[in-house]
Chain A
């Protein structure tokens, strides 16, 4: 196992309100009135994690936790103010990609330009172009100006171009699937296929179930602080779900354990409550129904929940008699 991504004590800082951000006039004005203040804003503070070949890390956290900023730093768009990020291999980053196209150029030209920006070669684009257009289902629109496409079509094209690669590292920011209905399923399948091909990946998602399904590591950020980085995805996800309800941040690993337990308990309680409700509903049906339908319903329930209690042969006999 080799280390593919190493993030060592990474901190990323934005500065707001300095000379560069507010322009010369405002700067002079504020200097004169004594209102000049530079605000530092740390989008990420002391984030540390290591991913090995084939790892899939989910990043969870509420809005403004610093997830997207961290992704930008890993894909090389931003440079951390402190700390080091070491990355081995080619990165394909799918950050919200429908922007950055050129409205006046045709779909085909845009596809080539985007391919070039993602670091593909011309030969590769020539080879893959038909596949990209076919996948995005835009065959009839190839020579239309990009401006005329609907926003769904735009993101379909963006997604298709990005997915045609075989990167070492894939970075996903809430773009597991795009488009509507059929395409959503197709793109989701394609993404899973890529993820299962053994790439190393990072996934930002607000869907906890997705993280549980796809990831074997999880990083929890909150307001730039690293709450935890762990391989116990289920535990951390449970703790995070509990945090979303109670808004209590864990201060230690023990707290995380407790949160996860609390969440499990909450889920168990909820399930019990639901079951009870269900039973009540059924009881009502049974009480209201005629004798035969009530027995029928009861049989169905027992058959699905505890089939070992029934002699299926006799049940069949009984059903034939009543239906026939």
Chain B
């Protein structure tokens, strides 16, 4: 354990000395994303809005009549899901797309992944602002408890980094992962209760939904925003457990395999 702490400390200090590189990488990722687009940053808000718009039109017919604040219900699901998709997908390709650099210069590779995560997080932040504007329009009163949303978001960020680390390592070794993961993401979208409610399911099936970490985060946000309920302590524990679990597995994968990446580019 002592070793773990010491090595964590060492990585932290190494990270501090690499701040300049980190900043430059974040800058680069942003430029890349919006280079030669007319609307630039507006896209990070527009695309979830368009998704929301279509879903609202299509699904209100089926679920909207019985679900209170259905727009917000949908919106909470779509923004979390799209953030999760973007962050993990970018994380997955972060090593390969920087292969030419990793091959030539001894840089801390995890910075490539972190910087991608930062740009996804900023995007998510922008959509979150729009989300709150929608809340106001939908006559949802803001409570102090809204501050607690920081917790699931933090868990989600950690989770995304962890999953990104796992995927990036796998992707270096097996390019098939890209296709597998896109199928997996589609399936995950369907079992995350984004446009339907889980009430119709048997209670046992409802607990099964908790095996899906993305759903757990979405549900947390909905509980606070729509139901005005603060989740139980156990629920907090569950969020944290997912974050820690993926972060640990990710760190393990990275630590174990990052030295071998260079042989497979």
Contacts and interface: CB of A to CB of B under 8 A. Distances in A.
Interface in A1-49: 14-15, 19-21, 23-25
A319 to B, nearest CB: 62
A77 B262 contact: yes
Interface residues of A, number: 35
Interface in B93-149: 100-107
Given A15-B263, A24-B176, A104-B31, A117 B103 contact: no
A100 B106 contact: no
A82 interface: no
A96 interface: yes
Contacts of B262: 72, 77-78
A77 B103 contact: yes
A117 B176 contact: no
Interface residues of B, number: 27
Given A104-B32, A109-B27, A116-B24, A23 B263 contact: no
Contacts of A86: none
A40 to B, nearest CB: 12
B100 A105 contact: no
A100 B104 contact: yes
B174 A24 contact: yes
B55 interface: no
Contact of A76 (B31, B32, B103, B106): B106
Contacts of A113: 24-25, 28
B15 interface: no
B100 A79 contact: no
Contacts of B104: 77, 93, 95-97, 99-100
Interface of B: 20-21, 23-25, 27-28, 31-32, 35, 100-107, 173-176, 259-260, 262-264
Interface of A: 14-15, 19-21, 23-25, 72, 75-79, 91, 93, 95-97, 99-100, 102, 104-105, 109, 112-113, 116-122, 125
What are the nearest 8 A-B pairs in CB distance? Answer: A116-B21, A20-B173, A76-B106, A100-B101, A100-B100, A116-B24, A79-B259, A113-B24
